[in-house]
Every structure is written in structure tokens, then in C-alpha cells.
Amino acid sequence: MLPPSSTHLAEFEISSRNGFLPDQPPLQKLDDTYYASWEAIIGDLPGLLNSSSLRNEVDHLPILSTSRLRSEREWQRAYLILSFVTHAYIWEAPGPSERLPPSISVPFLKVSSHLQLPPTATYAALSLWNFKSSNTDCDLSRIEDLQVLHTFTGTQDEEWFYLISVAIEAQGAEAIPLMLNAIDAVESDNSPMVIAALKEFSYLIRKISLLLKRMHEKCSPEIFYNEIRPYFAGSKNMGLAGLPNGVFYDEGEGNGQWQQYSGGSNAQSSLIQFFDIVLGVEHFDVKGTKGSKHGFLRQMRSYMPGPHCSFLEHLESIANIRAYAEQTAVPEVTEAYNFAVKELESFRDIHIQIVARYIIMPSRQHVSTGHRGVNLAIASANPDVRKDLHGTGGTELMPFLRQSRDETRAAALS
């Protein structure tokens, strides 16, 4: 048994049990009746979008103060609500809105600042803080025990899409203390413990891959592409979807700014970037610059809760496993390291296959007429832009994913 790691997870608001998921279940409602109008909107979101009446409802909302939010769970609940309503407002049919009204912009900017997150629907809002569990043992990796709190479409498909991410985060949670202990074991040159940790880590990634493979069970590619994914889109690189200038965050009385933000993306998962850092996988930007602050994955850290981003920066300063595996005279360490790299590469291969099935293939087929007007699905189906298909995070989709997979493979040692 390894001793406790020298890195204290609580300092970075990371749960020793649930990892980057909250230690306590997310709030299902803001109890203060002052926020009842917010709760009414989010509670009927699919219905309002289906009747194209969401914008009208939001335009009549008062500008609520954030001063009555007390606990972090309340701030996170407010962020979830405002994230969903923001993207619903922007992408409601028949076409995108280039303006976000003060009733949303003003509180969203304050809530986002408190949580050190951008005012857009991030992975944290859509997945990390958007679930409940019927499991009294708090085992969040059992996907059958999970439910989401909110969706845009009210479909089982959207719920399942989020739950796969929640289950992956829960399954991967034990990798965090495990690999921090492995980093400490390197410092004491305890090769048996490093080997054991790397092997266990590899099997955890394999379990995560199996969870990812379950996406098809309850999520239809056609429904995902045509009905769900358009709401994930941000305001960055979305000119062809109808937002050439991004979105104007109207703060009232002539104040406000044009903003361009990435939308929700799995690249905003701190867990996946944790895997890369502990294994020493190096990613490059499009110009081939290692670790560039302008690289897409580096940019995505600003879309993570502030403490989680700080944790990844701390981790980069202490990561030592790849160097140890490269320099050690114990071949079993190198073999265990390469085994872990191979499993992470396989995980990324599965991700590429899912993107091909859920985005690339549907983009080549007839787009459903169920969602009227301009959105990401319709823009992506245009043959003139399909070859440069962008993800909801705003980056070119398949080139980015293939490069990430290839860079993972390149980390293996001879």
C-alpha cells in the first residue's frame, strides 16, 4: 500500500472519492425563491425550445443579483442554469441570436468570474455539475444509477450522452491519487510501486474505454447530430453557422462586449488532460510548438473550474514518470509505461470512431428538418465546409483528434 500523496487534492477542490466530480451531489434546485424565475425556465427548457418561445420568456426575466448565492454548490447550480439558458437563447430556431440579453449576461458574467470559468456552456456545466445518483454507496461509475438534471431536448439520447461522461469521470477518479502516489514513488526510486501503479492505471483506462464504447446503446447518431449537438456550439469559429462576430453580451444601458467562446467540449475534461500529463504525452499546436499557450488543449484549460486548472499546472511541475521509465535500468518499468500509453492511444482511437459515427457520417447525410433555420448541423452538412468540419469547441475536428492520438502513440519508449 502506497502512503498518501504529498499533493493535497482538497486544495484544488478535487474529491478523493469522485475526482473532478463534486464530492457532494450537485444541487437540484436553488431553494431561495428569489431565483424561482430561473428555475422555471430551466425546468421547462425542452418545451420552451420546442415551441420557439424560450427567447420571449428570457427577454421578460428581471436582472437578478448573485448576492444571495452562498455555497459553492449554489454558485455551481447558478452557472449550470445560466449556461443552458445562454446556449438555448443563442441557438433557438429559426436562427442564432447575436445578442444575449442583460437578464442573462449580467448575472452570468458575475457567476462565471466567481468560478473562474467563461460565460458559456462548458463541460463543467453540461456534465460535472449536471447529474444525480440513486446509488446510496456513492459509486458514480455505475451509469445505470445515474440521471441528468437538465437537457436541451428532453431526449434519452442527450441524457445518455452526458451520463457517459459522468461515468467516465467517476471511473477515472481513482487514477488521480494512484498516479500522484506513483510520482512520489519515482522520487524514492520505488520501481515495484511505480510498475504496480502503471498497470492499475492501464486497466482503469481500459474500463473507461469500455464505458465510451457504450455510447451507441441509448444515443442515436442522427438525433445527436441534428438535435443535440447544435446547442453545444459556442460563438467561436461559428461564422458559417450564423455568428460571424460571435455574440454581444448586453449588460444594459449601452454597455456590453462582443465575445467569442468555445462551446462545450470533452477537451475541457481535466481528467483526460490529467492522463496526458502524468504519462508525459506532449501535444503541439498547429504550428508544431510544444506546450504552446495558444494550442487548443492549453486554451481549453481556461474552460475548466479554476482550481482544477491550477491542479493541472501543479501536476506539470512534478510529473516524472516518463523520464523515470526512460532512464531506469528496470525494463519492467518501461514495459508498464508503454502498456499505459497503448491503452490511452486505444481510448483515443475509440473516440475517433465515435466522432466519425456521430458527426462525420451524419454530416454527409440529409439533415433533419426538425430544427428549422441555421445551426451547426446545417452548416456542417454543407459540402463546401465539410472538409474543415469544426467541433463545438471551435477547432478542426478530425485533424485535431488524429494528431492527439498520434502524439499519444509517439510517447511510447523503445
| Domain map (residue ranges) of the chain | 13-410
d(CA 275, CA 175): 9
pLDDT at 289: 54
Using alpha carbons, list the distances in angstroms from residue 344 to 2, 115, 270, 387. Answer: 24, 30, 15, 27
Q: Give the per-residue pLDDT at 39.
A: 98
150 in a known ligand binding site: no
- The per-residue pLDDT for 240 is 86
pLDDT of residue 382: 59
Topology given in CATH for the domain delimited by 13-410: Methane Monooxygenase Hydroxylase; Chain G, domain 1 (1.20.58)
- Cα–Cα distances (Å) from 203 to 174, 196, 342, in that order, read 11, 11, 11
Which pLDDT value is given to residue 195?
Answer: 98
Query: What is the grid cell recorded at 406?
Result: 498520434
**What is the rounded distance in angstroms from the CA atom of residue 227 to the CA atom of residue 91?**
11
d(CA 105, CA 339): 47
Query: Could you give the CA distance from residue 35 to residue 326 in angstroms, rounded to a whole number?
Result: 56
Torsion of CA 93, 99, 103, 108, to 10 degrees: 100
Total residues found in the chain within this entry: 414
Confidence (pLDDT) at 167 = 97
- Is the distance from CB of 60 to CB of 75 less than 8 angstroms? no
What pLDDT is recorded for position 292? 47
Full pLDDT tens readout for the chain, 414 residues: 445 566 899 999 999 999 999 999 999 999 999 999 999 999 999 999 999 999 999 999 999 999 999 999 999 999 999 999 999 999 999 999 999 999 999 999 999 999 999 999 999 999 999 999 987 666 788 999 999 999 999 999 999 999 999 999 999 999 999 999 999 999 999 999 999 999 999 999 999 999 999 999 999 999 999 999 999 999 998 988 899 999 999 999 999 999 999 999 999 999 999 999 999 999 887 555 555 444 888 999 999 999 999 999 999 999 999 999 999 999 999 999 999 999 999 999 999 999 999 999 998 885 554 444 567 766 665 555 545 555 665 567 888 899 999 999 999 998
